[in-house]
Amino acid sequence: MAADLITPPAPQVVALRGLSKSYGDQVILDAIDLTVERGEFVALLGPSGTGKTTLLRILGRLEDATSGEATIAQRTSVVFQEPRLIQAQKVWRNVVLTDGRGTASKARAVAALDEVGLAPKADAWPKVLSGGEAQRVGLARALYRSPDLLLLDEPFGALDAFTRRTAHDLVLRLWNDHRPGVLLVTHDVEESILLADRVLILGDGHVQADIPVELERPRDTTSAAFNATKRLVLHHLGHVSARPHTTSP
């Protein structure tokens, strides 16, 4: 039986109750309860194989849950690790690809590109973009839909250290300007603390820790408070199982 899918009232953009996902006898997510408020930035950490991307795909309506209740904002955008640009389409056309309303607007696409500093490349072909620029097109594509919920699936993983830090600053600015709820899947502990209001630790099919990040922005990665939070997150990660959760025989 699939999970019930409901559009939530403001201010929640995600409300999960008893959400589970199985593939045959293998349980990936086991009765998860989770809420994300509009304007809240949440990071999701955990070893590979613990179901982080599966959870994000369910929230992005790219995959169905097996059971439980999933209450998700209607306007939702996903940014993946790979920009997934169509090389045969100009940059602005790539921005409007997710517009299912048949009302693709170049002006709105250029406005979204302007927010990520790429308006001059609206008529360029994707092959001339750097890796960082291509990822910014992915962010512009997400912004084009004016999402209430923005899902980020390790979008900085393929970037070099300098470009990644620039992308962090850009995402924080866009989040501050538009105030969607954000769920970021990442393997980077420092990145999660730098960006998020809360850090969730996923393991063995469950949210095993929900850690508030009570640090003022902009955050100093060398401060004692930042490193105390980092030690706390690492402590919880040290107790997380990456083994698939399976049903009893």
For the stretch 41-55, pLDDT in tens is 999 999 888 899 999
Q: Give 75-89 pLDDT, tens digit per residue.
A: 999 999 888 899 999
Check whether residue 118 and residue 165 sit in a common domain. Answer: no
The answer to whether 67 and 1 are in contact (CB under 8 A) is yes
Q: Are residues 156 and 140 in the same domain?
A: no
Q: Do 230 and 201 fall within a single domain?
A: yes
Query: What CATH number does the domain containing 172 carry?
Result: 3.40.50.300
Question: Does residue 207 sit in the same domain as residue 111?
Answer: no
Asked if pLDDT for residue 162 goes beyond 80, the answer is yes
Tell me what pLDDT residue 243 has: 52
Could you tell me what percent of the chain has a pLDDT over 70?
90
pLDDT above 70 (res 20): yes
Which tens digit of pLDDT belongs to each residue from 163-187? 999 999 999 999 999 999 999 999 9
| pLDDT score recorded for residue 98 | 62
User: Is the domain of 69 the same as that of 184?
Assistant: yes
Residue 147: pLDDT over 60: yes
User: Among 111, 146, 181, where does a domain finish?
Assistant: 146
Nearest to 152, CA basis, from 183, 121, 198: 183
- Beta strands 12-23 and 26-37, pairing class: antiparallel
| pLDDT at residue number 249 | 40
Helix (H) or strand (E) holding 163: helix 161-178
* Pick from 98-107, 115-124, 204-213: least confident: 98-107
Residues 4 and 118 in one domain: no
Same domain, residue pair 132 and 245: no
Cα torsion 152, 153, 158, 162: sign: positive
Average pLDDT, the chain: 90
Counting the structural domains of the chain, the total is 2
Asked whether residue 68 falls in the same domain as residue 163, the answer is: yes
Same domain, 213 and 236: yes
Boundaries of domain holding 95: 76-146
Do 184 and 141 share a structural domain? no
